[in-house]
Amino acid sequence: MEKEKLSLDFISSLFEKKREKEIIKYIFDELSERTIIEELIKQNKGEEEND
Amino acid sequence: MIEYDYTLKRDEKDVICTYKPNNIPIELPNLVYIEGPNGCGKSTLLNIIALACHGLKNRQIKPVLQEKIKNLIDSDYQDLSFNIKMTDNDGNVELLSEKNDLKNKEIILRDANNKIISTEQFQKKYNLIYDIPENPTERLRELISEIKDINLYSEHKLGLLRSYILQIINNIQEARDPARIDSVKNEIEAFNEAKKNLIKEVDILEERLKEIRIFTYIKFYVHYDEVTRRIEGEIREIKKEENKKGKVIKKISGDASDLKKHLLDEIKNIEDLYHNVTPLLQNVFSRGKEKKRFLLWKELIVREEIARPDFNQTLKHEGSYFRDLLEKEYYDQQKDDDLKEAQIFRKIIDVLENYSDLKIMIPIADVSISSFIETLRDKLKDHENLTAKNENYKSVIDNLNIILEKREHVLNNLVPRLSKLYNEEADTKATVDDNTDDYQIERMENQLAENKKKKEYYKTSCINIGVSSDQEIKMLYPSVVMGKATKGLNEYKEEHLKDRIYDMEKELSRSRKEIIKHDSSLQYLSNELKRLERKDPHPYQANLNFLKDILLRDIQIMEQKMNIFGSYTKQLINNKYDSSGDSEDRKKYFDKVASYSAKRVGTIRHIENEFVPEKIDLVEKTIFTKSGKEIKIADLGTGQGQSAYLIGLLGADDNRKIIALFDEVAMMDSKSLTPVYEKLKELYNNNKLLIGVIVQKAETIKVSSIG
């Protein structure tokens, strides 16, 4: 468990959806709310384009 | 290396004592194990190191230890000054802390560059672990309180994220919104269209109202003018007859006088009814094959038919003839579906009007009672002529029947009775003056006054619509009343026409108010459009639906879940499990906590061996090892439990450098301490630990380096 954060893994394991896990990761990476939203919008756009 | 010094002055009431580190060396290795009796200063050393490292603001430190640290600096019976220097394994200074003034509470902590480090900066870089592992079994459980903190942190951050999204949504909604602009434009268009239709409707209504007003006012002015003239003529005739008789007043009996007055009343009633039905009969029969018979009717004189019934029978025969024709037409109309519909609507409206104030919705139609009445009224308008015509026919039929009945009554009953009275009582019982002419005149004058009043009303109404002279009225009469344009209006009786005028005025007023309302809405929408168009678009405008309908909802669900997980964690901490509403989710959560705890502890020592736990199940109070062994937590040697706990604390993986201070590891033997030493050494060698100090109660002072 050298690189992984135990607590992140623990909280992340409580959620199933990909977006939920990403949100938890961003929170534990201590990203600002603004950056988290930007990232999530970017991802959603990508997903929509792929669809 | 740890280099330190301190002065602690304590007021012990009988004497003020000064304590200095006389028993324990003031230079210590980074990893050190200190044994000693009570009061030798080992715990004071740990408290001062913790105080120097912002320990008072560290939430992870137990309250009992916090209290001890606080006591050093914040009590009125002792004062402290100290300085501490901590160097790394290469001998470089890493942390320097000092409190020079015994009284001043200021503590300064500096880094290698001699730069002051704030609590936040310190906590970002260093993990101060200061603990007393008293009860190993219970302490294992305290690892779970870490989970509580993680849960709370996650929930808090999710809450911040939710607030931020709501703020963005709000900003987007306040920013330039093309959809909202389009919607306002569409609303403006719809209001303009509706206003245009209303104006058109008002124009048509005004035109129609003008027609009906001019028709009604001229028709009934002429009508009451004619009636007035007729009554005036009749009065003149009676007065002429009176004059012919001279001043001689005939004496008749009281009975004869009463009967004669009654007879004259009845004849007058027949005449009134005759004049009432004649214009209506004229509408129906003045043209076509019945024209000649109608002319006969129109020219008859009621009093002549009563005076000479053998010779004049027009009232009887033509009255009966027209009644039969009208009855046939009336019953044919009754079969008309439109008329039936109109009659049913009228009955429903009559019933519902009693309840129009109630806020009850009509099922299926899903409208209020008052709206439903309005709809029915609109429908009723389509059949208005039909209803009026039918009601008119009924009224003429009824009046003709009364005329015929009264004619029979007068001729077969009243006239013979009066003749008989005259013959039998002429000379014997005649006691009163025959004043029946005066009686007739009085009655007719009353009628005349009423007619004049009505005539005056219509005259004023004509003036109000711009028709001011009698000559003009008479000139307009043929085209307005008899003309084709107003043909439909002849079906209406006077009161119906007045009602229609009233209803149309009401309708006009309502429509005009509606236009004003539309104007005000248009004004508001126009301003709103200008306001919206002035705004700048929000960069996330296109993502509004994603933020509002997807992301916000996802985060709210996550928050709810975290809240539920928090309640499960609380059950673990309190060792009280609420079995009601036991769910799969809770079992899964406890399972994940068991795995997390196992990873946090890393290895445990049991009897002679070390084990790697797979899960530490705090509900079942069992440790499941990777090698398949199951160890009950209660069976763990106390020292082994402490060892597992301390290793667990040291296992926190957050890239911060650890400063580890462990007090009174009393129950741990050398076997149990070895894994802790190993862990400290491993962390120190990997540059993940700055200092590690373990103190233990003993009879004599002994300081040894770990490793």
pLDDT tens per residue across span A8-39: 899 999 999 999 999 999 998 889 999 999 99
Q: What is the pLDDT of residues B635-652, one digit of tens each?
A: 776 676 677 778 888 887
Mean pLDDT, rounded, for B226-234: 91
For chain B, say whether A44 makes contact (Cβ under 8 Å).
Answer: yes
Single out the residue of A39, A48, A25, A31 nearest to residue B545, CA to CA. Answer: A48
User: Which pair of tokens denotes residue A13?
Assistant: 């394991």
Average pLDDT, integer, range B349-370: 83
Calculate the average pLDDT of chain B.
87
| Element spanning B102, H or E | none
CA distance B83 to chain A (A): 35
**pLDDT given for residue B390 in this prediction:** 86
DSSP B180: H
Q: Is residue B456 predicted with pLDDT exceeding 90?
A: yes
Cβ of A11 within 8 Å of Cβ of B150? The answer is: yes
Contacts of B164 in chain A (CB under 8 A): 33-34, 37
Is B665 within 8 Å of B673 (Cβ atoms)?
A: yes
| C-alpha B388: how far from chain center | 45
Using the Cβ of A50 and the Cβ atoms of chain B, whether some distance falls under 8 Å is answered with no
Burial class, B111, CB count within 10 angstroms (exposed 0-12 / middle 13-18 / buried 19+) = middle
Shortest CA distance from A47: residue in chain B = B546
Rounded average pLDDT over B470-476: 89
Distance CA B100, CA B97 (A): 10
Q: How big, in percent rounded to 5, are the helix, strand and coil portions of chain B?
A: 65, 15, 20
Return the residue in A22, A33, A51 with the most chain B beta carbons within 10 A, the one to mutate for interface testing. A33
> What's residue B511's pLDDT?
93
B331 or B489, greater pLDDT: B331
Q: At CB < 8 A and 24+ separation, what contacts does B237-242 make?
A: B238/B437, B238/B440, B238/B441, B238/B444, B239/B441, B241/B437, B242/B437
Q: Could B654 and A5 be called an inter-chain contact, meaning their C-beta atoms sit closer than 8 Å?
A: yes
Domain ranges of chain A: 6-50
Distance from CA of B591 to the nearest CA of A (A): 11
Q: Which residue has the higher pLDDT, B254 or B537?
A: B537
For A44, the closest chain B residue by CA position comes to: B546
Q: What is the pLDDT of residues B275-301, one digit of tens each?
A: 889 988 988 888 888 899 999 999 999
Q: Is there a contact between B401 and B323 (Cβ–Cβ < 8 Å)?
A: yes
CA distance B590 to B621: 12
A20 touches chain B (CB under 8 A): yes
Q: What is the mean pLDDT of residues B309-332?
A: 92
The secondary structure of A1-51, three-state, reads CCCCCHHHHHHHHCCCCHHHHHHHHHHHCCCCHHHHHHHHHHHHHHHHHHC
Q: Which chain A residues have a beta carbon less than 8 Å from that of B561?
A: 14-15
Chain B: residue nearest A35 by CA? B161
Contact (CB, 8 A) for B200 and B459 = no
Quickly list DSSP for B590-655: HHHHHHHHHHHH--EEETTEEE-EEEEETTTTEEEETTS-EEEGGGS-HHHHHHHHHHHHHT--SS
Instruction: Among A5, A6, A49, pick the best mutation site for testing chain B contact (most B Cβ within 10 A).
Output: A6
Say if residue B369's pLDDT is above 90. no
Q: Write down the pLDDT at residue B266.
A: 93
Across B181-185, B355-359, B644-648, the highest mean pLDDT is recorded for: B181-185
Q: What is the pLDDT of residue B604?
A: 77
Using the beta-carbon criterion (under 8 Å), do B558 and A15 form an inter-chain contact? yes
Q: pLDDT tens digits for B36-86?
A: 888 888 889 999 999 999 998 888 887 778 888 988 888 888 889 999 999
**Of B683, B694, B695, nearest to B657 (Cα)?**
B683
Cα separation of B312 and B299, whole Å?
12
Q: Which pLDDT value is given to residue B406? A: 95
In the predicted structure, residue B579 carries a pLDDT above the cut 80: no
Share of chain B above pLDDT 70, in %: 93
What is the pairing mode between strands B613-617 and B251-252?
A: unpaired
The pLDDT of residue B251: 62
Angle at B226 between CA B222 and CA B227, to 5 degrees: 120
Report pLDDT digits (tens) over B663-705. Answer: 876 667 777 788 889 999 999 998 899 999 999 888 899 999 9
Examine the predicted complex and report whether its ipTM is higher than 0.90: yes
Residues in A closer than 8 angstroms to B154, CB to CB, are 11, 24, 27
Mean pLDDT of B236-253: 73
Q: Is there a contact between B543 and A6 if contact means CB atoms under 8 Å apart?
A: no
Band of the pLDDT at B250, cuts 50, 70, 90? low
d(CA B274, CA B399): 8
Across residues B439-448, what is the average pLDDT? 88
Q: How confident is the model at residue A2 (pLDDT cuts 50, 70, 90)?
A: very low
- Contact with chain B for residue A41, Cβ under 8 A: yes
**What number is the average pLDDT over the span B240-254?**
69
Q: Within 10 Å of residue B371's Cβ, how many Cβ atoms?
A: 14
Best of A5, A23, A51 to mutate (most B CBs within 10 Å, chain B):
A23
Nearest chain A residue to B540 by CA distance is: A41
Average pLDDT rounded to a whole number, residues B566-588:
82
Confidence of residue B97 (pLDDT cuts 50, 70, 90): very high
Question: In chain B, which residue's Cα lies nearest the Cα of A32?
Answer: B161
Contact in structure between B330 and B397 (CB atoms under 8 Å): yes
Interface check A47 vs B, CB under 8 A: no
B406-416: average pLDDT: 93
Question: Cβ contact (<8 Å) for A34 and B164?
Answer: yes
Tell me the shortest Cα–Cα distance from A39 to chain B, in angstroms: 12
What pLDDT, on a 0 to 100 scale, did the predictor assign at position B64?
75
| Confidence tier at A4 by pLDDT (50, 70, 90) | very low
Instruction: Report the chain B residue with the minimal C-alpha distance to residue A38.
Output: B540
Residue B583 pLDDT level (bands cut at 50, 70, 90): confident
Q: With 60 as the cut, is the pLDDT of residue B372 above it?
A: yes
Q: Mutating which of B551, B612, B649, B688 best tests the A interface, going by the most A Cβ atoms within 10 A? A: B551
B653·A44 Cβ contact <8 A? no
Nearest to A37 among B151, B157, B165 (CB): B165
In percent, the amount of chain B with pLDDT more than 90 equals 44
A6: closest CA of chain B, how far (Å): 7
What per-residue confidence (pLDDT) applies to A1? 40
**Does the pLDDT value for residue B430 go beyond 60?**
no
